[in-house]
Structure 1
């Protein structure tokens, strides 16, 4: 169990992060007569999938245990930065989730160099969990700098991040296709806590995910076209190609090649300046 001083620091940190969020930022109605500057305890408890009693005890520095899964959920719903996430896990005496990987060696240097060499064409690596684990400057300029994101899971970003939704010209078609690919890819791992927690969370927080997951659609990856409406350089059209790597189990390399002359001409400009807010 944590010492009292650490429990108090954890409680104070959670309360401070909760106070800085507004209902609009997490998709909740403001409602009348709000007496708190940010989210209420019951709101963050509901978003994180824990009971209001348990969360209240946590903010009261009670002597209770906190699982890694709950910490991950709290970090996500509180919109914590990478540094804040590490601090949260340190206060709870748990190893940060981004330091626990299936491959302790991380992304092989040769794969990172391959991704970097594809600039100014956007390129990125997904691990077996569909987390972004490597990307080049063009990809960061296209979607926003991933290292600044509280969470880098592609499926979660597509279904819960408003900026990604706004970027995709055909969000409905692309999101549904990605979900069908995800379902096919993780089918052998259904039942694993991490996969089941993500599915349950998205079914709870995204009406589209919940409806389409129930449809049972399956799709293998095939080279397809994605159209982006970028806030700085305008419309960009890419043909996506995927390579499965030999160096890291389950890792996939995606390269985005310009599908027309206009997109090719805009790529140097895309890389020169980062996307605002990234």
Structure 2
């Protein structure tokens, strides 16, 4: 063991320590296990590479390992910032680029307070789908948010997203690509939006084809129900998206509610008219 390259010892230790239940969809698809740890094949699949390619890295074979590939391992293995830095130093000889963090001046404190007060996953994002604020529930269910990833880039190009999001192409990719396509054509001179679109086209041919040629037309996901896998849950989950936009600064708020809770709220909530008493201020008494 002592003769093994440092990268081999590190990756093996991180891989064996990873709780399979923490990887969305892994135990739901393949069953629970008594021991922790991911296989090389599982790590490779989630990273979107062949097992042989990942094995070369773990054996310490030098090759052109991209930053995107190394950061996919960071997410899959649940590495912290120190471990991420160590991984990059061993593989590339340099420190990784800093994670993307929102400018504090772009964070709406009022909406941020709302986000952190909600019991369900919630986050804010700008018109380019760069996340601004997310709460603890969102970090728990969507740990990729901890890495400063754009919503569209994650959903449309990351291999682990296709593992987590059920019926990825029809239910997730096509509606989301439609939203992005409409936003891009409405704002063709927005440099960040153009950057997100180009990144998706360059990163993944399937997502690029959908973005360029699909005719699905969706302007927003508000009220949509979709299925996915969540960490530490062995069955698929259905959620409903509840979206808001603040008029003053165009920051969007997304709440991801369990579909059964959303449905119960709809059924339990009386209509506005039924709940207003006759003759209340600004409401004339019934004739």
TM-superposed deviation, 1:160: 3.0
State the partner residue of 1:134: 133
Matched residues, number: 210
Unpaired runs of 5+ in structure 2? 1-6, 12-39, 89-93, 265-287
- Give 3-state SS (helix, strand or coil) of 1:234's partner: coil
**Structure 1: how far apart are the matches of 2:80 and 2:186?**
30
What aligned pairs does 1:1-278 form with structure 2 within 5 A after superposition? 24=44, 26-29=47-50, 30=52, 42=64, 44=66, 74=67, 76-79=68-71, 83=81, 98=100, 101=103, 104-119=104-119, 121-144=120-143, 146-147=145-146, 149=147, 151-172=148-169, 173-215=171-213, 217=215, 218-223=217-222, 224-230=224-230, 231-232=232-233, 234-247=235-248, 249-260=249-260
Distance 1:118 1:36 in 2: 41
Question: Using a 3 Å threshold, how does the CA distance of structure 1 residues 260 and 138 change in structure 2: closer, same or farther?
Answer: same
- Taking structure 1 as the reference length, the TM-score comes to 0.58
Pick closer, same or farther for the CA change 1:114–1:196 going to 2, 3 Å: same
Find the residue that maps to 2:107 and give its secondary structure.
Answer: coil
Cα distance change of structure 1 residues 137 and 26 upon mapping to structure 2, 3 Å threshold? closer
Q: Deviations over 1:191-237 (max 9, x none)?
A: 54433333233223223212101215342114311122334253322
Judged with a 3 Å threshold, the aligned counterparts in structure 2 of structure 1 residues 246 and 211 are, in CA distance, closer, same or farther, namely: same
1:66 corresponds to: none
Please give the secondary structure, in 2, of the residue aligned with 1:260.
helix
- Offset, 1:158: 0.9
8 Å contact from structure 2 (residues 227, 239) kept in 1: yes
Alignment RMSD (CA, Å)? 4.1
Alpha-carbon distance in 2 for matches of 1:35, 1:107 = 39
Q: 1:170 to 1:39 in 2, by over 3 A?
A: farther
CA distance in 2, matches of 1:111, 1:213: 31
CA distance in 2, matches of 1:255, 1:35: 39
Cα distance, 1:36–1:133 mapped onto 2, change above 3 Å: same
Unpaired runs of 5+ residues, structure 1, are: 1-15, 45-73, 265-278
Report the alpha carbon displacement of residue 136 of structure 1 after superposing the two structures with TM.
Answer: 1.7
Aligned CA distance change for structure 1 residues 200 and 118 (closer, same or farther; 3 Å): same
The aligned counterpart of 2:271 is none
- Classify 1:261/1:190 alpha carbon distance in 2 versus 1 (closer, same or farther; 3 Å): closer
Tell me how far apart the structure 2 counterparts of residues 246 and 262 of structure 1 sit (CA, whole Å).
Answer: 24
